[in-house]
Each structure stands twice: as C-alpha cells, then as structure tokens.
Amino acid sequence: MTTTPIPTDGHPGRRQRLLQLWLGHSDLHSGVVAWSSYDPALAGRPPDDLPTAPPYPTAMAALRDGWRLIQFSPAIPPAPGSEFRTSFLPNEVLLEKTEADHVR
C-alpha cells in the first residue's frame, strides 16, 4: 500500500490527523465515552484492524500528547421533559495533529 503526501496548512510533506472525542461531561478531564478518528495514512484499512479502545482516556491526555483543540461543542441544556430521550452525544471535542508524512 502506498500513500500520497497530503499538504496541510500549506506545508507539503505534512498530513493532518483528526480526532473526535465525546466526553462524559464538559470537563476536558472527563472520560471518553466515544471517539472517531481520521488519519490519511490509514485510509482503506479494514475495520477489524482498527483499535477497539479509545486512544486517550481524556481530552487532556490528548492535548498533553500534542493534539490541538480546534472545536468544543457548546453546553446546551436539554429541553424540559427531554432529559432522558435518545439524541446526539453532547460534549464533543475535535482535535487535530499535523505530522510529517512518510510515503510508504
């Protein structure tokens, strides 16, 4: 498998990785309850080959590892009477990291 370098932030030879975390609470120290990630180097990888545990226990742990916070979902209280309805996951954090792209 070969990958093509993807320019990021106008810097050829770097790739952008995205990490989407949903936290148990709005605190960045709160535990991760769901996650999604995108890494162009892993595109086309079979789903069975992907990790089954979150890459970080908290958003703070990801920040300490060099991820940059680019979006934090607003804290929106549920409408009265809908506190226990199924809906989207609140407390979403979107992080990015740019790394040197190594052509394989």
| Tens place of pLDDT per residue across the chain (104 aa) | 344 444 445 566 788 899 999 999 889 999 999 998 888 877 776 666 667 889 999 999 999 999 999 988 877 777 888 777 777 788 999 999 998 876 54
Q: Residue 24's pLDDT is what? A: 92
- How do beta strands 14-23 and 68-72 pair? unpaired
Backbone angles phi and psi of 41, in degrees to 5: -70, -20
Instruction: With beta carbons less than 8 A apart as the criterion, state whether 11 and 19 touch.
Output: no
Of 87, 91, 89, 90, nearest to 59 by C-alpha is 91
- Residue 8's alpha-carbon distances to 2, 52, 77, in angstroms, are 18, 28, 36
pLDDT of residue 35: 92
Q: Which phi and psi angles does 90 have, rounded to 5°?
A: -80, 180
> Which one, of 86, 87, 88, 66, lies nearest residue 19 by Cα?
66
- Kindly give, in sequence order, each residue whose CB lies less than 8 Å from that of residue 33, ignoring residues fewer than 6 positions away: 22, 23, 24, 89
Amino acid 2: pLDDT: 43
Residue-level pLDDT at 20:
93
Give the total residue count for the chain.
Answer: 104
- The pTM (predicted TM-score) of the whole model is 0.73
